[in-house]
Each structure stands twice: as C-alpha cells, then as structure tokens.
A and B are shown apart, each in its own frame.
Chain A
Amino acid sequence: MPADRDPPVDLLPDHFRQWFAARGWAPREHQLALLQKARDNRSALLIAPTGAGKTLAGFLPTLVELGEASLHLAPLAGRGRTVSGASSPGDGALQHNATPPHPAQQAALVAPPSPRKRGEGRSVTRSAGLHTLYISPLKALAVDIARNLETPIAQMQLPIRVETRTGDTPVSRRARQRKYPPDILLTTPEQLALLLSSDDAPFLFGSLKRIVLDELHALVTSKRGDLLSLGLARLWRIAPQVRAIGLSATVAEPQSLARFLVPQPAGAIASADIVVAGGAAQPVVEMLDTSERLPWAGHSARHALPEIYDLIKQNKTTLVFVNTRSQAEMLFQELWRMNDDNLAIALHHGSLDVAQRRKVEDAMAAGRLRGVVCTSSLDLGVDWGDVDLVINVGAPKGASRLMQRIGRANHRLDEASRAVLVPANRFEVLECAVAIDAVAENAQDTPPLRIGALDVLAQHVLGCACGAPFWADDLYDEVRSAAPYADLARVDLDDTVDFVATGGYALKTYERFARIKQDKEGKWRVTNPRVRQSYRLNVGTIVEESMLKVKLVRGRGGGSGSTGAIARGGRMLGQIEEYFIENLVVGDTFVFGGEVVRYEALMEDQVYVSRAHDKDARVPSYMGGKFPLSTYLAERVRKLLDDKRAWAALPEQVRDWLRLQAYASQVPGVRELVVETFPRADKYYLVCYPFEGRLAHQTLGMLLTRRLERSRAKPLGFVANEYALAVWGLGDMSQMIRHGRLDLDALFDPDMLGDDLEAWLAESALMKRTFRSCAIISGLIARRSTSEEKTRRQVLFSTDLIYDVLNRHQPDHVLLRAARADAATGLLDIRRLSDMLARIKRRIIHKELDRVSPLAVPVMLEIGREAVYGEASDALLAEAAEDLVREAVGEHDERLPDN
C-alpha cells in the first residue's frame, strides 16, 4: 500500500478552504489524498469506515475541478446556471436549467454544441456531456447524496448542476437529461446500463472525467457488480480519460477490489491506488449477558426481549438488526407488547411497502424514533448521526458484515460505536464470542472478487448491440478489461454472443428469428426495434421472487379450503413471496406487517388473510437467513471449541453445555468431523457438525440421503442448521457401521460431488430456481411474462420444464453453465461443501451413542419447525393417497380431509 505523501496545501482552492474553516472543519487527510490522486490523474480506492466523510472525499475532486473551471470561465458559465438538486423536482431553478438558454446568451458562446461550456485548467474543452458519474447500490442513497451535495455547492456558490436518475425518475426528466446532461449524475448500475445502450452514450459519456462508485464492497459481491464492471469497461472505451474513485468499507482483500476500478490489461493485473482513512475509534462491542436461561435452539431471542427493551429505553436511538424478516416481525410485535412507555419503535424490512419504508427512514433522520427493528435492508444507506446503539439479534454470520452494522451507530469518527450482540441460542453464543474477537482484531471476511457470470454477460452483449453494432473481437477485448471478466475464455464470449443471437442451441433452427445478426462487415447488430424494447424492459440482475399481494379481509372462521366464500377487497398489507404461501394450508397463521394473520385464500395474485387472535403464529419462519455463516467465523468457532482454556470466557451455561458434550460424546475439533449415531423413539439418527452454513449443509443432506438410501439405511429426511446436520431413517446406522455395512469415510467421500451431485442437480428444485434467474437475467425469458402470467393465473411456460428439456438435450448449454457456476456459491454452496469434504477426508470421528448428545439437541429441535427436506416425493404422495384409502374404508373419524 503506497504511503500517502503529505498533500501540498494548495490542493484545496481558497473558497473551499474558507468553506471548511467557516464550518469549523479541516479537510481530512484522506480527502486531500484523493484530491492529490485526481491531480496525478490516478484512479483510487478509498477504504474508510462509516462516518469518515467518505462521500465528500469522493466528490471533492469533482467539485474542485468544476469550481476551478467556473473561475476560468466566469462570468459566462455562471450565468443561466443555478444550483439545483434532484430532491427539488419541478422547482424553478430546475426548470430554468431544463430550458436551453436564451438565443442572445447562446450567441455569446463560440459555436456551442449545447448551452454549456466547461474548462479544464487553461485549455478549455467544449463539451456538453457529464463530468462525473456517481453509482450507488441503492436509489434512495443516490437521492440522499444529491441532497447532501447541495449544501457545499450552494454555500460555495459553485455553478454545478446535480441530478439523480433512478427507476423512479419521470420519463420526461430522463429524456431531458440525455439532451442537457447535468454536471454530476447520480444513478444506479441498471440505469448506467440503460444509458450505455442508448444512441446518446457517446455524447453523454464522451467527456466524462470521474466515476465515483459508492459502497463498492457491497456492489461487487453480486451480479450487479458484474453488470457494473461491464458498464465500466464500456466507459473506458468511450472515455479513456475517465478516472474512478471507489468508496468502500474495510474489506479482506483491498488489492483485488482496487482492480475493479481500472481497465485490466491483457494477461496482466492493474490496480487503482489505495487510500486508507485511519483514525476510527475502536468500537465497543459486548455480548448481552443475559440473566435468563439460554435457549437450546431457535432464532427468536425471546428470552432476551425485556433486556433489549431496556437497552432501547436507555439510549437515544437504537437500531435492532435481525437476520430475517420473520424475526423482524416477531421482535417488533413482542417489543410493542411490552412497550408500556410508548417508545417510538418502528419496523423496516424489504417486504414492506416502499412508501412505508421511506416514512420510517425519514422519521429516523428527523430523530423521531427511539428504535428501529430492521433487516439487512438497513445495512447500507444514509448516515444517521444520532444512532447511539446497535443491537444485533441472532448470529452475526460474518465479521465484516457485523462491523458494517456496528458502523451504523455513531457516524462520527472520533466517537466509538457501541453495539450489543444478542445470541438467540447456545451455538450463537459461540459465534458471537468469536465475532467480538474478530472485530477487536479488525479481521475481515468479505468474499473474494467474483468471476463474472455468463448470464450477465449475455445481457450486456445485447445492450452493446442496442447501442451500436460491434465486432466480436473488439467486444472480447473490452469485456476482458473488466476485472471480473479478465480471464474470460474466447469460447465463452462466442457462445454467449451465439446465445444472444439465436439461443445458442446446437440444433440450428432459429436463424430466422435471430435477435442480433452479423452484417456484411461482420459487425453484430440488432435485427429489429422490438429487441431494443425488450432489452430496456429487462435490464438488471435482481430477480425478485414471485410476489403476491397480501390483503386483510374479515375471516370466515371455518376451515374450508374452497375459494369463493371470502369477500374480496380488503386492505393491502404488503407483498409476500409466493413460495412461502404455497407451503401454507388454509387456516395457518403467520406474522406479517407486525400482526398475526390467518391464511384464508389465494386468488390470482392476491393472498387473503384475516386478523388472527392467536398470540403465536403457527408457521414460524420464512426459511433461514439469506447469508450463511462465513467460513472465517466458522473456523474461529471450531478453534474456540478446540481450545478448552478459551471456554473460560464463555457464559457459564454454555461452558456447562460443552463440558457435558465432552463427557457424553466429543467436542468437534478444528479439522476433524464428528459424526454421532444414536437411536431415538422408533428411528435412528446421524448427526454431524461441519460448521459450514445451512446452505452447504442442505446440499450435503441431499447427497447423504441418496447414499444412505443406496446403503439401505432407509433415510426418511434431514434437517440442517448453520452448524450441524441431522439425518434420520429406519435403518440402525450404528449397527451398520459396527458391522462394516456402512463406511463413514466412503459416505463422506468427496466423490459425492461427482455423479451424485450431477444426478441430484438434474432434478433439484433449488437448481431450477437458480436456472430461472439465469434465464431472466440473460434475457431468454422476459421479467414481464412472469408477472403477467401471475395475474392471469395461466402459465405461458414454466422455466422448470425448459430446464428439464435443455438439461437433457444440451447439458453444456451456456445458460446451464451459468446456472451451475451460480450453484457453486449460491443456494447450494457447493464450493464450500467441497472444501469441507476435502478437509475432513479420513478425519471422521464416529461416536456411537445410546441417546442424543448435548451438542445435537439444537439441530434435533429444528425437526418439525423447519420443512423436512428429502427427495422421496413418491413416499409423500403415497401418504396423501393413503388418506383416500382410509376415507374409503370409513376411517375418517380421526382425520377428515380439509373440509
């Protein structure tokens, strides 16, 4: 990391220095360092904790440059240009800007291509395009940054026009922005892709000087990052002079993140300079030392509710982070139940209506709230100076993630952030303990830079063709300048182009339906305007689950499953994932929008619910959290377990639990895998402790049950949590192992990732979901068609069926390759499973027990709460069929079907 030289004093123009001084501020070192990088014409990555004045640092070079330009051009350029922010749409200033200047004014310019003029140093260049492009992962953030920029611009009277462009920007303003671009445009990766695919791209971006990428650490971990990287590659070609500034929280590998900001030369690695802001006070993080009994399992932290409530009461404003929406709903409801002081406590999560969320954010910014119960929906975003405590309920999941959340408290560098971790069960105590150590050491566990996905590439290829015809050779070079695609093989690009053109099928029957075609010169161009239109409607990489509207109606009390008896209409509560509703039967209760509701009916795209008077919802969860336990924290947990002396720091209840485990079975060590087998009631159980997160455990469970079935252990199902996996069946696995009929080394052999995995993937519902999202992102099927089909409740086609046919007839198709690559890290987490299997090879310790061990209790308690996974569809269908038989022979006394 290059040491920053002492920045020369003259980096900051006088009026900037005066502005800082007037507010009693001094420019921070990293802010000046970024100015210096700009002067040196270097791209830079700023790594800074929240509260370090990151945003201002990112924009300072732009403000100074545009400010200087205006000095050189004064008074002309200043005239007719007013400072305006996008937060005041329709105000006079903005409209004034929107209108081309008066002809007389225009005459004063020398052959102006547009009403505006800009200079750089002494050599004045004429341009009307953007000067600076700011990209943020959240549109709300873009809007807030625009508002924040307004202050220095207005106070220093800088002639700079700032506007935002998001999905919510009205069409008229978008059109105007393309004609009369502002100096600074604040937008999102999706909008950038759209702008790049338009004819105006060369005009808009040709003279671009700076790109500011906010929350870069969050952007690069998803397919949005892939899309953004391809957009950057495009910009580097259109505007080779452009320099980038990345703003990021602390990450594990800053060097690799810095690659993202500069074009990668063929066969080599290039990185932006790195500037690290120091001086953040060490956060104060504690684990809630509960006086209550710590639960064995579950994620609700119900035991700690009074203590959480007291913490909110004792502090000015508290953010309460949880991992899932259902936890947020539950906690919010419980807190209000005990809210005798009527504290202003709000709820914020992704399923709530956007307007509702904005209202909460505004109340928060205005300091009107004492507490907000929220999910990762508030991990990023606007700075709120008044938050003085962060409570993290449940597992922290990852060190970097936790530090981000803690950073939400006290956005002032010199004051320490305060956080309290509330583990919801005994395993989470271990996780919290090691997470606190990780924070103290500032150890990061952000994932490595992604390898660019092929479905995103396909979307980009179509976007390029919509912009201007291209040669595949040029595109190949351009795409590889993006860090995630630096190692893209030529065959992958060619297959992707072929896919965009005619579907990429070995059976060549779609030539006449091609979306893009090569012209005489060999350039690829769009065949008809419909293709452009469909590209615009489908841009982006976020594939939403199919959502259903939730409406509150009056209940009808009975349990009839038939439709039609329910009154339509009702109050809209929000939206819910279709897959959640599909696993409910009429009469089930669940928590939504802060209340317990009863599922009444599903009609078209609407779910009708009534107010339930139950205290507790019958269906407890929406599935586990989205993020699995990080590999890094998992390893620390295993180390902690391995080191008996370190147990001293743990709460007594947890220590006792571990001691008991050591006595009854064995405490898992750092490298080996402990496998326990034991009988319970009329079934036999196998429990193992890989500590690799729920997703990898689920995949392992699927594969193990296949193998156990072949070994005639008659497995019936399994359940996984973040730490352990339990499989049960009718065969006595202890006895089978004893007699050599079941070999654990063979059972856990990494070769399960070969044929077994292939075979399972071919039919896995998770794989089909992964494929569906690839099909949408790549543009094979339209987003629109899925929502239309929902409202009409008539399926046009199902991606599951397409997957089945394609997988059988062309298994190496580019979309299946994309889906398999996703499966390695996504819902199936195969890569992690494979690393684990390699690690524990021939290090399996088997414990034959006569009963459940203390460590196994938490995962055993999940049985019955979580959906049971398994593949025995026929077995389950047969159960349903038996009901019919029972009915036929007149045994309906105990079990009358649903009506």
Chain B
Amino acid sequence: MPGLVPGIHDFLRWPRETWMAGTSPAMTETASHRPIESLSLQLNGVEMLADLSGALYWEAERLLIVSDLHLEKGSSFAMRGVLLPPYDTVATLGRLGAVIARYDPRTVIALGDSFHDRDAHGRLSDGNRDIIAALQARRDWIWISGNHDPALPSDLGGVVASEVAIGTIVLRHEPTGAAGEIAGHLHPKARVLTRGRGIERRCFASDGERVVMPAFGAYAGGLNIRDSAFARLFHSLDFIAHVLGDHRLHAIAASRCC
C-alpha cells in the first residue's frame, strides 16, 4: 500500500517504476525490470530524447524540459467547491523528481502552466515547497510563464522567463508554429484504434521542425492531435505522435490516429 504522502527521500530515490497518471502502470512481475524507454526525436537537426514520463531531454545541453505541470489544480477546484483529491501536486513532483534523478540535468525548464492558477503557488504546502527547493538544488531552473501562470513570484527559486532561445531552438509555452520551437499548452494526446479497441494516451507531437510536448501534470487532461489546433501548427497531418505507452514510447503517424 503506497504511503499517503511520500516524503522527499521517497521519491528522489532511483525510481521503482516510472508511472504516469493516465497511462496505466504495469503491474505484472516482469514490468518493473524493463528498461526505462525513450525515443530519439530530431528537432531542427538537434537530437533530443522523448522520455516515457513525458519529459524531453536535450543531452548535449544536459537540459530537461517538462511542460504543463498544473501544480495545485486539485486545490484550485477545491476553492470552487469541487473537492478533488489534494494529491496531484505531490504526485506530479514525485514523477518529476524521478526523471530528474534519472538524467541529472544541469538545467530544468518548466515550459509554462507550471501552476494551475495565478495564486496556486501560494497554496503549495510547506512539504511541496521543500520538494521543489530540493529539485532545484545544484542546477539551474527556469520557469517559463504560461497563460495559467503569467506572473510567478521570485521566492519560488529559479528564474522566470517568457521564452528561452538556445541556438536555433526556441522554448515557449504557447506554440506559434515557428521552426525550431518547443512548446506545450495544447496537452496533445493521441487515440489509436486497433482490433476493435481504442487506446488513448498522451504524446509528443512533432514533425521534425517543431514539437508540442505532452502535459506532465497528474490532473492535466488532453487535446486530441486530430483537433484543428494541431492542423494549424503543422499545416497537415504530416506529423508524428510519439505516444506514451505503458512501458515504451511508440512513434505513430498522426494520420493513423483518430
């Protein structure tokens, strides 16, 4: 039985398994021994790793990118009388801690909508604040602002930016469709039908020139990549969904999804 509130030591350890809300965790005996999967992804000629957790790792820069954490989404609804379980922040930070522990990046960029609403950071528990501080220790941390969190306070640690450019690569929250862009905001998910079964999972959407990252937050929903918002970005269905499966990623043509 999992602990109620895992402490910082609990999740900074080497992960027992990568697990993501919305993708079903593998519970078979063999599952936990499988290697952590990632897929290589070319972006404007730069090689990145799409990680099964939904993070993107730029090895050459030792840069880890996560998008749309939506921390404190649960309490945001609670304020309006919908008492969602208050464990989303700790669950999201737990997975983030696992992927950071695995890659040990020099820099972490949270690609916007890190907090679900303007006041969300104020509702962070002391424990979760400590967890964030521990994650930020010994590395650079950049909060890119998003539409949910346009203004972030300085006491969170790290620096705040509206976008970051590294060589030919630009990182910003809302995608514009520009070449070399890494963005989030849309929460892409892909739906695949095979043998009478529909499987729906979060995914990276990329055509080699731009990538839209999946939402990382435990309560973050998704937008189907067949939605017109993606057609506008990619100008066609000629892009690939790197779908987060149970134990591995799958590159599937957007036209194959539905």
Q: Is B a genuine binding partner of A?
A: yes
Residues of A within 8 A of B (CB): 502-503, 505-507, 509-510, 513, 515, 530-531, 534, 561-564, 582-583, 585-586, 706, 709-710, 717, 759-760, 762-763, 780-782, 785, 793-798, 800-802, 804-806, 808-811, 813, 866-871, 873-874, 876-881, 883-884, 887, 897-899
B24 interface contact, C-beta 8 A: yes
CA A798 – CA B221 in complex, angstroms?
A: 6
A510 touches B78 (CB 8 A): yes
Which residue of chain A lies nearest to B192 when distances are taken between CB atoms in the complex? A880
Show 6 A/B contacts (Cβ-Cβ < 8 Å), sorted by A: A503-B84, A515-B81, A562-B226, A871-B24, A883-B253, A897-B253
Given A510-B78, A874-B246, A877-B199, 16 more A-B residue pairs with CB atoms under 8 Å apart are: A503-B85, A505-B87, A507-B5, A582-B198, A759-B27, A797-B73, A797-B84, A801-B21, A802-B84, A804-B22, A805-B21, A867-B195, A880-B252, A881-B251, A884-B251, A898-B256
Listed from nearest, the 4 A-B pairs whose CB atoms lie closest are A795-B221, A503-B83, A763-B24, A867-B196
List B contacts of A887 (CB < 8 A).
253
Q: Mark B223-258, 1 if CB is under 8 A from A, else 0.
A: 100111001000001001001011110111101111
CA A878 – CA B199 in complex, angstroms?
A: 12
Contacts known (A510-B86, A710-B29, A878-B250); A867 close to B240, Cβ less than 8 A: no
User: Min CB distance, B86 to chain A, in Å?
Assistant: 5
Q: Mark B63-78, 1 if CB is under 8 A from A, else 0.
A: 0000000000101011
Contacts known (A509-B125, A809-B5, A868-B195); A802 close to B85, Cβ less than 8 A: yes
B253 touches A562 (CB 8 A): no
User: Min CB distance, B180 to chain A, in Å?
Assistant: 23
List B contacts of A879 (CB < 8 A).
194
A873 touches B219 (CB 8 A): no
CA A530 – CA B81 in complex, angstroms?
A: 8
Quick one: which of A502, A795, A884 contacts B83, CB cutoff 8 A? A502
Q: Mark B180-196, 1 if CB is under 8 A from A, else 0.
A: 00000000000111111
Contacts known (A509-B75, A873-B199, A897-B253); A810 close to B28, Cβ less than 8 A: no
CA A564 – CA B237 in complex, angstroms?
A: 14
Residues of B within 8 A of A (CB): 1-2, 4-5, 19, 21-22, 24-25, 27-30, 73, 75, 77-79, 81-88, 90-91, 125, 191-199, 201, 218-223, 226-228, 231, 237, 240, 243, 245-248, 250-253, 255-258
A583 touches B198 (CB 8 A): yes
Contacts known (A873-B246, A883-B253, A884-B251); A763 close to B25, Cβ less than 8 A: yes
Which residue of chain B lies nearest to A815 when distances are taken between CB atoms in the complex? B85
User: Min CB distance, A566 to chain B, in Å?
Assistant: 14
List B contacts of A866 (CB < 8 A).
196
CA A709 – CA B226 in complex, angstroms?
A: 34
Which residue of chain A lies nearest to B220 when distances are taken between CB atoms in the complex? A801
CA A730 – CA B254 in complex, angstroms?
A: 31
B4 touches A506 (CB 8 A): yes
Contacts known (A513-B78, A876-B192); A507 close to B86, Cβ less than 8 A: yes
List A contacts of B201 (CB < 8 A).
873, 877
A804 touches B21 (CB 8 A): yes
User: Min CB distance, B99 to chain A, in Å?
Assistant: 17
CA A798 – CA B220 in complex, angstroms?
A: 8
Quick one: which of B22, B83, B222, B237 contacts A513, CB cutoff 8 A? B83
B196 touches A563 (CB 8 A): no
List B contacts of A785 (CB < 8 A).
82
List B contacts of A760 (CB < 8 A).
27
B237 touches A806 (CB 8 A): no
Quick one: which of B82, B243, B247 contacts A781, CB cutoff 8 A? B82
Contacts known (A763-B25, A801-B218, A898-B258); A868 close to B75, Cβ less than 8 A: no
User: Min CB distance, A233 to chain B, in Å?
Assistant: 26
User: Min CB distance, B19 to chain A, in Å?
Assistant: 8
A-B residue pair count with CB separations less than 8 angstroms: 190
A876 touches B81 (CB 8 A): no
B4 touches A507 (CB 8 A): yes
B83 touches A805 (CB 8 A): no
Quick one: which of B4, B24, B28, B30 contacts A809, CB cutoff 8 A? B4
B256 touches A805 (CB 8 A): no
CA A190 – CA B109 in complex, angstroms?
A: 51
B24 touches A810 (CB 8 A): no
A876 touches B194 (CB 8 A): yes
CA A868 – CA B247 in complex, angstroms?
A: 21
Contacts known (A797-B221, A884-B253); A873 close to B86, Cβ less than 8 A: no
Which residue of chain A lies nearest to B90 when distances are taken between CB atoms in the complex? A809
Contacts known (A710-B28, A763-B27, A884-B253); A874 close to B247, Cβ less than 8 A: yes
User: Min CB distance, B83 to chain A, in Å?
Assistant: 3
User: Min CB distance, A325 to chain B, in Å?
Assistant: 19
List B contacts of A780 (CB < 8 A).
82-84
CA A810 – CA B74 in complex, angstroms?
A: 15
User: Min CB distance, A528 to chain B, in Å?
Assistant: 8
User: Min CB distance, A749 to chain B, in Å?
Assistant: 17
A513 touches B197 (CB 8 A): no
CA A660 – CA B59 in complex, angstroms?
A: 66
List A contacts of B81 (CB < 8 A).
513, 515, 530-531, 534
User: Min CB distance, A771 to chain B, in Å?
Assistant: 12
B85 touches A880 (CB 8 A): no
Give the residue among A801, A806, A868 with the most B Cβ atoms within 10 A. Answer: A801
CA A811 – CA B29 in complex, angstroms?
A: 21
List A contacts of B194 (CB < 8 A).
876-877, 879-880
User: Min CB distance, A885 to chain B, in Å?
Assistant: 8
List B contacts of A763 (CB < 8 A).
24-25, 27
B78 touches A503 (CB 8 A): yes
B256 touches A880 (CB 8 A): yes
Give the residue among A505, A506, A796, A887 with the most B Cβ atoms within 10 A. Answer: A505
B85 touches A881 (CB 8 A): no
CA A426 – CA B199 in complex, angstroms?
A: 34
User: Min CB distance, A512 to chain B, in Å?
Assistant: 9
B1 touches A811 (CB 8 A): yes
List A contacts of B5 (CB < 8 A).
506-507, 809
List B contacts of A710 (CB < 8 A).
28-30
Quick one: which of A781, A867, A877 contacts B245, CB cutoff 8 A? A877
User: Min CB distance, A776 to chain B, in Å?
Assistant: 12
Contacts known (A797-B77, A801-B21); A806 close to B221, Cβ less than 8 A: no
A877 touches B192 (CB 8 A): yes
Quick one: which of A515, A563, A717 contacts B228, CB cutoff 8 A? A563
B252 touches A881 (CB 8 A): yes
Which residue of chain B lies nearest to A877 when distances are taken between CB atoms in the complex? B250
List B contacts of A881 (CB < 8 A).
243, 250-252
List A contacts of B77 (CB < 8 A).
797
B218 touches A898 (CB 8 A): no
CA A534 – CA B85 in complex, angstroms?
A: 19
CA A219 – CA B69 in complex, angstroms?
A: 45
A813 touches B75 (CB 8 A): no
B85 touches A813 (CB 8 A): yes
Give the residue among B85, B220, B240 with the most A Cβ atoms within 10 A. Answer: B85
CA A793 – CA B193 in complex, angstroms?
A: 20
